[in-house]
Amino acid sequence: MVKVVTLISALSALTLFGCSQQEVHTAKSTLALSHSDNIITASVLSKDGQLNLVADGKTVCLWKNTQVESPLHCLKGNEAQFMELLDISEDNQFYLVSNQVTVRLYSVQGHKPLGEWGVAGNIINDMDISANGNKILLGFRSGKASIIDVQRNEVTSFDKHRLDINSVSLSDDGEMAFTGSSDKKARVWHTSSGENVHEFSHGSRVNHVSISSDGKVGFTLDAIKDRTFWDLSTGKVLAELDTNLRFFEFNDSIFSSDNSLLLTGSPKQVIKLWRVVDGALVAEWKSEATKGRASVLSVAYSGQDKIVTNNSDGLFEQWQLPSVNNK
């Protein structure tokens, strides 16, 4: 595997103007590292941006993002085949891999398998893990959702939606789940009981949901035009994304630690930073294509002043965050 290191000097920030005349920061990446020679099928960055888990159909490799020569560890053979979903716990102690039929949990230290679960007859569309790795949320094509209690080795399933669950998100403590479905509903619910806290209706299928670490703010994106920030304590709308674009999608998103910003990664090389209070676009970057479309598969914050991304060409990139007025 050839590892290419490219250091790209940062350009001066340019400004674009959106529909609200909000100045939009943009610049080139300050660092780019190749974490795969192949087109990758799945990628996830740890929440602090220090670890990058990459699947390319033949291997699943865990990288430390400052490391250039070789990954920390790779799953190979039967352990790595057909892996389409990945995740890393916030404490960087555990990682998940799934072929959409079963999900396997590994330790980062020692890379030992710790458990394997599945729900018979159900295809996993999305998954998320709690900060300490004790709970795993699975969303299924059947509309069911399951909570895995890792310590007790118990799986509890709930009938949450009438149609496919397309996206799931779990609060850090594992107590609140957010699910979005083709039934045009997004639901916030208690993982202990399955009881709904809020239900949000949309104009079309809900393709993406995200919940903040503390479970206080949520975001939903449907297939056509609804893209909404929610106050999850009240169930009321905080803001809509300030854009006239329709039919766009997010592969990944993450709230900033203070819930003031949402970082998103999309197909066609697009990375955007949105302000939660009014939905304004405050920064936009373009990932480098080295092999194909360079779809941005995973995004994360790195410290107070940087973000990191990974695209489907296997390219890990680092970007400088602008100074943002959050009011």
Q: Look at residue 11 and tell me whether its pLDDT is greater than 70.
A: no
Residue 248 has a pLDDT of: 86
What tens digit of pLDDT does each residue of 153-166 get?
Answer: 999 999 999 999 99
What tens digit of pLDDT does each residue of 35-54 get?
Answer: 988 899 999 999 999 999 99
Overall pTM surpassing 0.85 (yes/no)? yes
Q: Give mean pLDDT, residues 5-34.
A: 60
Instruction: Collapse the DSSP code of 78 into the 3-class scheme (helix H, G, I; strand E, B; otherwise coil) and give the result.
Output: helix
What tens digit of pLDDT does each residue of 141-157 get?
Answer: 999 999 999 999 999 99
Q: Look at residue 65 and tell me whether its pLDDT is greater than 50.
A: yes
The answer to whether 292 and 313 are in contact (CB under 8 A) is yes
What tens digit of pLDDT does each residue of 106-140 get?
Answer: 999 999 999 999 988 899 999 999 999 999 999 99
Q: Look at residue 69 and tell me whether its pLDDT is greater than 90.
A: no
Q: Look at residue 18 and tell me whether its pLDDT is greater than 80.
A: no
Q: Look at residue 23 and tell me whether its pLDDT is greater than 90.
A: no
Q: Look at residue 24 and tell me whether its pLDDT is greater than 50.
A: yes
**Half-sphere exposure in the Cβ direction for 175 (13 Å, CA):** 6
Give 86-131 as a 3 state SS string.
EEECCCCCEEEEECCCCEEEEECCCCCEEEEECCCCCCEEEEEECC
Q: Look at residue 245 and tell me whether its pLDDT is greater than 90.
A: no
β 103-107/113-117 pair status = antiparallel
